Chain A
C-alpha cells in the first residue's frame, strides 16, 4: 500500500470523524470537515485521494457536495464513500446515482470500511 495518501472525512459528528480515522488507521493522512462548504474548501486545497462523506450535514447536504465533486474536472476521479444514518433503499440509490463509489449505512463495520477504501484506492491508482 502506497503511503502518503490523504483522505477527506466529512461528518458533522466529531466522534464519528474520529471513528472513521481510527478505522482506516494511520496509514493515511486525514483532512476533516464538519459541513459541505468546509469540505469543498478542503477538497480543493488538499486534493484528497478519497472522500468519506456523511449525507446528513448541516446546511448543504452531502448529496449536493457529492454532485459538486463529481462535476469538478479536478476532483471527479476521486472515489467517494458515502455514509448515511438515513437507511432506506432510496438513500443508497440517490447516493449511487449522484456518483458515489460505495455506500455504507450507519452503524458500519470499521474493518469493512477499511477494506472498501483500500479496494477503491487501488482501483484509482
Chain B
C-alpha cells in the first residue's frame, strides 16, 4: 500500500511529461503536415517550370523550322539567324527540361522522344537542305514543302502538345494535392491544438484534485480546529505529501483534544480542591463561631447583668469549657493544615507503648469516675519507632472518644497485644456505638455523625488526625461497632527491628533489654 503510493512531486512530474509528450506529438504531426504542404507546393511550382522550359524548347524548335524555311525561300542568310541561334541554344534548353522531368518517367520518355525527333529533323532534314540550297534551290524549296518535313514537324508539335498537356494535368493534380494537404494540415493543427488544450486542462484539473482539494480540506479542518472543534479528522489517503499532512494534522488534533481533556480534568480537580478548601474554611469559621458565641454571650451577660454566685460560677464554667474547646479546635485545625500541606514531621525515637498507654490512662480515666477500666498490658515493654507526642495524641483521642461516646458510663477495656511484627492496641467501650450509615465516614474531617445532636462536644477532627498520624508511622487504625452496644477502636503499629527480633523468639540482646528496664523504673 505504502510502496504503491508515489510522491506528489513524482506524480506532478509524470503528468507534466505526459502533457509534454502529447503536445510534442501534436506539434510533430503539425510540422509533418506543413513540410508535406511545402513539398507539394514545390512540386506544383516545378510543373510551372517544366511548362515554361518546354514552351521555350518548343519556341526554339519553331525557330529552327522558321529559320530553315525563310532561308530556303529567300536564300537570304539573314533569315538563317533564328536557326543558328536556336541550334546553339537547343542543347542547354533541352538539358534543362530533361533535368526538370528527371523524376517523371512518362515525361522523361516524351522529352527524350521530342529531342530525338528534333535532333533527327536537324540531322536528316535541316542540314541536308542547307547543303543543297546553294546548288539546287528548287530542289531544296520543294524539299522544304515535302510531306516528309510536314509529318516530322507535326510529330514534334504533337509530342510537345502531349508534354504540355501531361504537365498541365500534373500541375492540376499537384495543385489539388497541395490544397488537400493544406486542408489536412489545418485539420491536424486544429486537432493538435485541441488535444493540447484538453491535455493542459486535464493536467490542471488533476493538480487541483491532487493538491488543491486536499489543501482546502486541510484549511477547512484547521479553521474548525481554530473554532475549538478538536474532533475533526482528515482522511489519511492520496499521495504521500497529502497523506503525511493529513496524518500530522490528525496527530495534532488528537494531541490538542488530549491536552484539552487533561486541562479540563485538572481544572475540575482544581475547582473541586478549591471548593473543598472553601468548604473547609466555612466549616472552620462555623466551628469556631459556635463556642465563641457561648464565650462572648455569657461574658456579656456576666458584665451586664447581676447573677447569684451559683449562676455566676456555672456560666464561668461554661465559658471555661468553651474557651478550652476553642483552644483544642485551634490545635486540631493546625494539625489538619499541617496534614494537608504534608508538613507532618515526626520526631522518631524508640517509644515504649506500655508506658505511653499508662500515662494516657492516668490522664483520662483519672478524672472520669463514671467508667470502669479494664487494663490488659504486657508485662514487658513494647517498643515502636515513633513520635512520642503524636502517638500519645492518638491514644488519648481513642480514650477520650471511648469516654465521650459512652455517656451512660460502663466498662472501657484497653488491651495492648504483641504480634509477630506489630503491636496492637484496642479500646472497647459500651457506649452509643456508630450507626451503620455513618461507619464509612467517621475518619472524614469534621464528620461527627449524630454526636452533635447527642450533645457530645468535639470537632470531628480527632479520628482524621489520628489516622494520618498512624499512617505516617506505617501502621493501621480501624474499628468495629454496633449501634447501641458499643465500639472497639484498634490501632496497629510496626515494632522496631529489635522488638521484632525478640517477638520472633530470638535471644533477647543486651541492648533491647535496656529500654525495658529504664521504662520499668519510670
Return chain A residues, CB-CB under 8 Å to B286.
Answer: 56, 85-86
Name the distance in Å between A94's Cβ and chain B's nearest Cβ.
Answer: 15
CA distance A13 to B297 in the complex (A): 14
Is B453's CB under 8 angstroms from A15's CB? no
Is A110's CB under 8 angstroms from B297's CB? yes
Name the distance in Å between A33's Cβ and chain B's nearest Cβ.
Answer: 10
CA distance A59 to B449 in the complex (A): 10
Name the distance in Å between A38's Cβ and chain B's nearest Cβ.
Answer: 8
Is A109's CB under 8 angstroms from B300's CB? yes
Is A85's CB under 8 angstroms from B318's CB? no
Return chain A residues, CB-CB under 8 Å to B297.
Answer: 16, 19, 23, 107-110
Knowing A15-B318, A110-B300 touch, does A86 contact B282 (C-beta < 8 A)?
yes
Closest chain A residue to B304, Cβ basis: A111
Return chain A residues, CB-CB under 8 Å to B293.
Answer: 16, 19, 85, 106-108
Label chain B's interface by main secondary structure. Answer: helix
With an 8 A cutoff between CB atoms, is A74 at the interface?
A: no
Knowing A85-B293, A107-B293, A111-B304 touch, does A22 contact B315 (C-beta < 8 A)?
yes
With an 8 A cutoff between CB atoms, is B290 at the interface?
A: yes
With an 8 A cutoff between CB atoms, is B301 at the interface?
A: yes
Interface size on B, residues (CB 8 A): 24
Label chain A's interface by main secondary structure. Answer: loop
CA distance A110 to B452 in the complex (A): 23
How would residues 430 to 473 of chain B score, 1 for a CB under 8 Å from any chain A CB and 0 otherwise?
00000000000000000000101101000000000000000000
How would residues 381 to 404 of chain B score, 1 for a CB under 8 Å from any chain A CB and 0 otherwise?
000000000000000000000000
How would residues 476 to 508 of chain B score, 1 for a CB under 8 Å from any chain A CB and 0 otherwise?
000000000000000000000000000000000
Return chain A residues, CB-CB under 8 Å to B315.
Answer: 22
CA distance A106 to B297 in the complex (A): 9
Is B453's CB under 8 angstroms from A34's CB? yes
Interface residues of B in 260-289 (CB under 8 A from A): 282, 285-286, 289
With an 8 A cutoff between CB atoms, is A61 at the interface?
A: no
With an 8 A cutoff between CB atoms, is A49 at the interface?
A: no
How would residues 302 to 331 of chain B score, 1 for a CB under 8 Å from any chain A CB and 0 otherwise?
001000000000010010011000000000
Task: Enumerate the 4 nearest inter-chain pairs by beta-carbon distance, A residue then B residue, closest first.
Answer: A58-B453, A107-B293, A85-B289, A106-B293
- The residues of A with any CB-CB pair to B shorter than 8 Å are 12-16, 18-19, 22-23, 34-35, 56-59, 85-87, 106-111
List, sorted by A's number, 24 A–B pairs whose CB atoms are closer than 8 Å. A13-B290, A13-B452, A15-B291, A15-B321, A16-B290, A22-B298, A23-B297, A56-B286, A58-B452, A58-B453, A85-B285, A85-B290, A86-B286, A106-B289, A106-B290, A106-B293, A107-B289, A107-B296, A108-B297, A109-B297, A110-B297, A110-B300, A110-B301, A110-B304
